[in-house]
Structure 1
Amino acid sequence: IRLERASLSQISLAAKVMALVPSPVHKKLLNLTHDWLRTFMPHCLAKVNRVSFGLLSSEECADTLADDPMVPRSRLALAVPFIGKDVPSKSSEFAHPDITIGLTVMAYRYSGLRDDDF
């Protein structure tokens, strides 16, 4: 019963806040912020760089292009899933664009820009 009351009070508070937001654009931004803080960011922070995600190194980019010249350029610039320590997946990509963006930002923050990025 306590949990139900807490949940109802959170819903009531959220409804009051949304009623005060003036425009639909601001409501969308508030919803996006909520999604990031409650869902996407905890998911991204639970991942380990170069173990479960990371950027392809310059050598890995060259190998990927040699194997498949038609590889999307986005794969070379965005974070990709890893199947183990320093072993990127050959063709998998993250399904949710917000997760891809978050993990890419984290990967560049951890690894820095590569020489090929200039």
Structure 2
Amino acid sequence: MHTGRIEEARAHVAAGRAARMQDISPHHAFLPAAAAALAATDEEADGAYAAAYAVPGASSWVFELARLRWPTGPGCTAGTAPPRLVLRDAHQACRGPRAYPWLRRCARELRAAGTRWTPRPPGRNR
């Protein structure tokens, strides 16, 4: 967790569960599951990520799923860079909604990981 406020994050996850947010809609089921994965302890993380990915319809929310997978998803331990495949998947997911800041961030991380691939956002020639 980049903010260093892990206990506050866990409290928000607990509040979402207590409010039964997951019962509102499939998207509302995915959001607290994703938050729980991000706030999980190292021991809980694999199961929490698997649970978030398994929420029915998770693949429908491409951008949110990409954000969950990167930069804190499986294979990304504290202080390590995301795996190249995760970055490529995240970049591809960010192209659809034209999330240019995320596209640039993915490209920087890919270059830092030694990948020569330099993607360009759709419709941009710079």
Give the alignment's TM-score, normalised by structure 2.
0.28
Larger radius of gyration: 1
Give the alignment's TM-score, normalised by structure 1.
0.29
Q: Of Structure 1 and Structure 2, which has the larger fraction of its residues in strand?
A: 1
